[in-house]
Amino acid sequence: MMRYFDSISEIPDDAFPNGAAVAIGKFDGVHRGHQALIASARAAAEAQGLEPIIFTFTENPARRLDPARHIAPIMSQDQRLETLRDAGIAACVMVPFDDEFAAVSPETFIKEVLVKRLRARRVSVGPDFRFGHGAAGTVELLAEMGEQLGFVVDLVAEVEDPEIGPISSTRVREEIGRGEVALAARMLGRPLEVRGTVVQGDARGRELGFPTANLGGGLEGLVPAEGVYAGWVLLGDERFQAAISVGNNSTFTPEADVRIEAFILDFSRDIYGEAISVQFVDRIRGNITFSGMEPLIEQMHRDVERAREILSNA
């Protein structure tokens, strides 16, 4: 079980008696670049008998440093924690990037947090890592103080995909915003996932012969661009193929809010009120406004067949 600390002051002095291998980063999306940091910390921990731990923030520090800039998180805090736990991390320190933390000098962060609280013996960071008040701390300073204070810095190179280039949270976010969920999944190393509770909809899908599970209840995960997608619905330990609509059903309710509706293939159970996760595999098409019900139903049949085809080869 992964231990979780949401403030530095809550970490006992003896929390890591054998020392720690610490990976530091934002970990939004826990994409393949983040996974390389995790692998570095785990390898160092295994080699030296340390605990692999993550140090990160509850939200992107850039949101505080530039409040006018909207940075939508790829994952909720719970999704990040679950993904880090599944990656074999022993403990996660996830703290707010507030005024108090932003004022901490690089030297104080190293001495009071990394050395005193976390007992770091190895520290894994990316090449663009900056830290401390005014982002004054550099990888060079970290390595220099590590030599003095007894820890080694492992510089983890930026991960590049041979076909699509460098991987970053910004790029993942951009592809999701364009509906390019297959590209996003390639960078994440797994499908984009949004989860919520099945809520009562307007039952129009049922009238058309395509009853859908409508997600509500405070969605977790970044919702992709409007359109129709092939994907999976996870219900407990079960996984089902689905054709997924993201949008406001412009044919009938063009002014309505964007929502996620999943038509679960070969499925007839009542799951109102149950928690489900929707995984987006590939985009089938963008949203279309139809002249009536007949062309809409014909297109929905084509969408379902295309979803089956995509998922059978996934």
Q: How confident is the model over 61-74, as pLDDT tens digits? A: 877 667 777 789 99
User: What is the CA angle 284-289-294, rounded to 5?
Assistant: 90
3-state secondary structure of 210: coil
Whether 195 shows a pLDDT value over 60: the answer reads yes
The label of the residue with tokens 């999976």 reads 232
Distance from C-alpha of 156 to C-alpha of 77, rounded to nearest angstrom: 24
Whether 252 shows a pLDDT value over 50: the answer reads no
Whether 282 shows a pLDDT value over 50: the answer reads yes
Distance from C-alpha of 271 to C-alpha of 41, rounded to nearest angstrom: 41
pLDDT band at 50 (very low <50, low <70, confident <90, very high): very high
pLDDT band at 194 (very low <50, low <70, confident <90, very high): very high
**pLDDT-above-70 percentage for the chain:** 93
Model's pTM, two decimal places? 0.91
At 131 the pLDDT is 95
The dihedral sign for the CA sequence 132, 167, 93, 194: positive
Per-residue pLDDT of 100-137, as tens digits, reads: 999 999 999 999 999 999 999 999 999 999 999 999 99
DSSP track, 150-201: T-EEEEPPPPEETTTEE--HHHHHHHHHTT-HHHHHHHHTS-EEEEEEEE--
| Over residues 220-232, mean pLDDT | 97
| Over residues 85-109, mean pLDDT | 95
Distance from C-alpha of 193 to C-alpha of 172, rounded to nearest angstrom: 13
pLDDT band at 218 (very low <50, low <70, confident <90, very high): confident
Whether 240 shows a pLDDT value over 50: the answer reads yes
The average confidence (pLDDT) of the chain is: 91
**For residues 109 and 140, is the Cβ–Cβ distance under 8 A?**
no
**For residues 124 and 34, is the Cβ–Cβ distance under 8 A?**
no
3-state secondary structure of 3: strand
The label of the residue with tokens 């492992």 reads 154
At 206 the pLDDT is 57
At 256 the pLDDT is 46
At 65 the pLDDT is 67
Query: How is residue 93 written in tokens?
Result: 């320190």
Secondary structure E strands in 8-75: 20-24, 51-57
| Over residues 284-303, mean pLDDT | 84
**130 C-beta neighbours (distance < 10 Å), count:** 15
